[in-house]
Structure 1
Amino acid sequence: MERGRAKVTTGAFYNSEQRFPPPNCHPGTRAQVLGILRSWITDVADLTSIYWLYGAAGVGKSAVAQTISEDFVASHLAATFFFARADPSRNNLSSFFITISYQLATSPTLGPLLKYPIDLAVCENPSIIHATLEEQFRDLIVLPCNWLAACGLTERWKSLPRLIVIDGLDECIDIASQERLISIIRQAKTVTAPLPFKFLICSRPEPRIRNAFRHQNFHSILNRTEIGESFESGKDIAKFLQHGFDRIRQEHGQSMAHVAEDWPGTGIIQRLVQRACGQFIYATTVLKFFLYAHSGSFFLTSWRTF
């Protein structure tokens, strides 16, 4: 895999320095959707193997993907890819399967089993890192997994990390590639010997992504959940805002000594929750506006005119 290392997009890893600090679910928030996903991930029956979590921009999909990745890194997580529209290395699929296979080959748990067949695939065909996505997927992921089956190790998959988290698929700038990736995964999960991995895919419900998931072969293998104003998002945002304002008071205690302890007050919090319309990004922006202020007088003046 060393030959293909130059094409690995490390910035797409869940723990990449490039993404620091990553979005994350505030403690006690998104409990319902996180609970649903955790149950799906740990379900040994494997009734469905693909989960599409979708919602509008700013509702917290990436935070959920990050939290799930961190929660299961020591048990179920096999690989991650976090897309980003503004990052040329993460807004396309050119390195997607190379990056996924690299994580499989270097995993403390999967590496001892998959590194050899993945390395062999690259050694026998060095040009694979420039081949089509379908060929990369076949040679770097499917065939190495089939090699394990041929060695009689199929049963071991039940105790191995099998979760692949894909976040921000809609931020892949080539719309056709979005459908193409979904199609590749669908085909791999509906063959006679389906790929053993589970896929958590997070994205906006863009028309072509939504249409791709409507394929009839997805009916028995796909779960989907919309994240937005459902799942008690209002309560979660209120909790997030209150914690943020409490933090501001602590960090600027001297300049805000004359401010009421319940600042900014329940009424203001609820007004902000209504304006957020289920979008955590709105609440985050509000807190940043106050967090980086330099004086208590700025806080009060800004708040009255906000």
Structure 2
Amino acid sequence: GEVVSSRGNQTSITEFILLGFSNLLELQILLFIPFLVIYIVTMAGNILITALIVADQHLHSPMYFFLGNLSCLETCYTSTILPRILASLLTGDRTISVIGCILQYYFFGCLAASECYLLAVMSYDRYLAICKPLHYTVLMNGKICLQLAAVSWMSGFMATTIVAGLMSQLQFCGPNEINHFLCDFTPVIKLSCSDTGLIILVTFILCSIFTLPPFLLTLTSYICIISTILRIPSTTGRRKAFSTCSSHLIMVTMYYGTLFIVYMLPDTDTHQDLNKVFSLFYTVLTPLANPLIYSLRNRDVKETLGKVIRKCMMLTEYQKE
């Protein structure tokens, strides 16, 4: 299934084949069902959280403003990956055009990089709330919140635009099978017959600039938060302070943990299948876990949800009468 066009004496590929989970052929329909459920739950959960935060005045605080941004991001993030997986599981068609592949990488990369920044901003917000409570309202006013959110989104898009731009200049003329369920940087670059030295160097520099600082900021914030919490004399005080940031800590650990495993492991054949499994964590399971972790561990979100459900029930009762 490859379309070949000739440029001079060099043939160039216009389609890739995303192998995905093709080694589990007999399980394709079995895999389709959990992925579909995950997609529906992820979308519904994240859209619900965003809607609750917008609708309820009590949730108009910096912490929820950033959580709304994260939920919004997760909705887009899942949509760049899961519909594609679902389509290929259902139809068995695993081809994707080279342009489609670069586009998928572009949106996936932008959103993944923005998430690193948003998680860092959220941990900075928790740091100010717990370690600098008296200055919190001054340091986290509406204007600053908007600026921090805008910077998070823009930095993610800026970095990936450069990489995707360079990627679109590459030529592909050899094998066209990508052993992954999405168009990630390394598997695509490996298939190029152009000189990839420059793009690899640029990507390495951009990754160092755009993922290391937010990671270090997140780490530092949590070191300060935990040491402050440990100094609180009363157990209830400690528990209360920790409960406001524990859900975020779970998310950060899941997201960065699997990201580091995927991108730091040497790229060998045995690791490729492991990579696919770990990639599922930060591409599919983190967006799913986000609404679950935040809503189940958060009193305000639970209360707002309860209020909405009660209102809906009252409305239906009223309509019945």
TM-score, reference length from structure 2: 0.32
Structure number with the higher helix fraction is: 2
